[in-house]
A and B are shown apart, each in its own frame.
Chain A
Amino acid sequence: MKQLPEDLVSIRLTVNGVVRSLDVHPGETLLEVLRGRLRLTGTKRGCEVGECGACTVVLDGRAVNSCLVLAVQADGAEVLTVEGLAREGALHPLQRAFLEHGAVQCGFCTPGMLMSAHALLAQDPSPTPDAVRRAIAGNLCRCTGYQAIVDAVLAAAGEANSS
């Protein structure tokens, strides 16, 4: 971290496996940097006060609200966003399960849901339905009624465990 003229700060982030160096304002959020500077617009901007989960990303292995993390605080960290889930054009098993179970309707909550689910499965590969519900408790969905999302996460976990 280096302080530059006009109060810009140099930071280095690893985003979806790629090292990115950039100069940011101290007040800028990780969400603003991901969307505005890195053009990674999969991460959604909802409430910007921690209440909807649309902006959820995985920061050093943990789900966080990127609207409540200063970009400067993420200096040196690893960030995983929804764009980092698919590999060589193939959807991540969680993404496939969301499609198969009708867990995506308007899709606005989906990236945040996927990242909360991803962080859960990394820590707890065989979660109970209740653990899935708790993991996505900070992610609002106004379309699906949640059950399809819970089913999708459980199916993705089951698939990973049987393969």
Chain B
Amino acid sequence: MTAPRFARPRTLDEALALLAADPEGWTPVHGGTDLLVRMRMGMAAPRGLLDLTGIPGFGDIRVEDGQVVIGAGATHAALAADERVRTHAPALARAAGLIGSPAIRNRGTLGGNLANASPAADTVPPLFVVGAEVALRGPDGVRWVPIEDFASGPGRTVRGATDLVVAVRFPAQGREVRSAFERLGTRKALAISKVSVAVAARVEADGTLREVRVALGAVAPTVIRARETEGVLEGAVWGGEVARAACDAVRREARPITDLRAGEAYRREMCGVLLERAVATIVDGSRS
């Protein structure tokens, strides 16, 4: 690889100041699990590497004012193991625990997964269904962007050149609202998702589903909400006709392409299969 310049700021302010002074001159790097691959493949040639691994507390996870707040530097391994994440956003903990391999999860971060903006980024469908917001911090302070507005296309986000992704937050909804995540890759480890589905819902005592949210990964230029499917499930009890109608809806709503990982028709079909698994996980969980 070529030899760019390098900085390893010790505080977030220092990192933001460097970026503000020369936005084109610095590319943030955290776990490097996307960026180093892109550099190796000749798809990225940063002039400067702004290393975020030296900032203490950048990956901290806390619960405050009814919100779970996750620092952008939290690794997938940390997310998968964290009790608060497992309680308030089981879909996110599960997705983080399925990413890549143990070594990838030990380095790859939530901030990197978001900033990289792959339509197949596994943390994103769970963040959609728990109603997350992303904190961007630049010279003018922090702004919170709804996760649904964060990515604008494959590899593109609303992050400005002088911003860093600094945190993600979502309501600490406890076990009241449950969430689940399912994905399909070529194999269990080291496979980018061909399709992924996240679902969140509150299950009433008689099994009625409320506040249903469904998000789909890898079947559109960005992760998308499946609102028609949500409409079918809202106020309904899972099973028979409802399940069939929901799976039909989700197959209609997916807008997949054919690429080297999977064909369009297959992806569409699998949206239904993964939806069934995810809703079943939520409904079964509510009974235990």
Contact = CB atoms under 8 A, between A and B. Distances in A.
Nearest to B33: A68
A95 interface: no
A70 B4 contact: no
Contacts of B31: 68
B49 A68 contact: no
Interface residues on B, range: 20 to 34
Given A7-B5, A26-B5, A53 B101 contact: yes
Interface string B87-109: 00000000000001111101100
A63 interface: yes
A56 B190 CA distance: 14
A75 B37 contact: no
A48 B40 contact: yes
A50 B37 contact: yes
Interface size class, chain A: 20 to 34
B6 A64 contact: no
B102 A72 contact: no
A67 B4 contact: no
Contacts of B51: 70, 72-73
A56 B3 contact: no
A70 B40 CA distance: 12
B256 to A, nearest CB: 24
Given A70-B51, A73-B51, A137-B190, A27 B29 contact: no
Contacts of A7: 3-6
B146 interface: no
B190 A27 contact: no
A69 B32 contact: yes
Given A137-B190, A138-B100, A27 B41 contact: no
Nearest to B36: A68
Given A7-B6, A67-B36, A27 B1 contact: yes
Interface string A56-93: 10000011110111101101000000000000000000
Given A73-B51, A137-B188, A64 B107 contact: yes
Contacts of A48: 40
B2 interface: yes
A25 B3 CA distance: 6
Contact of B103 (A63, A70, A73): A63
> SS class of chain A's interface: helix, strand, loop or mixed?
mixed
Contacts of A28: 1, 3
A62 B106 contact: yes
Interface in A102-148: 116, 119, 134-135, 137-139
A53 B190 CA distance: 10
Nearest to A115: B103
A51 interface: yes
B143 interface: no
B102 A135 contact: yes
A21 interface: no
B189 A137 contact: yes
A75 B41 contact: no
A18 interface: no
A73 B51 CA distance: 7
B92 to A, nearest CB: 19
B175 interface: no
Nearest to A119: B102
Given A65-B104, A67-B36, A135-B102, A26 B4 contact: yes
Contacts of B39: 27
A38 interface: no
A34 to B, nearest CB: 15
B103 A64 contact: yes
A68 B102 contact: no
Given A50-B33, A69-B32, A70-B51, 14 more contacts: A7-B5, A7-B6, A26-B3, A26-B6, A50-B103, A53-B103, A65-B103, A70-B29, A116-B102, A116-B103, A137-B102, A138-B104, A138-B189, A139-B101
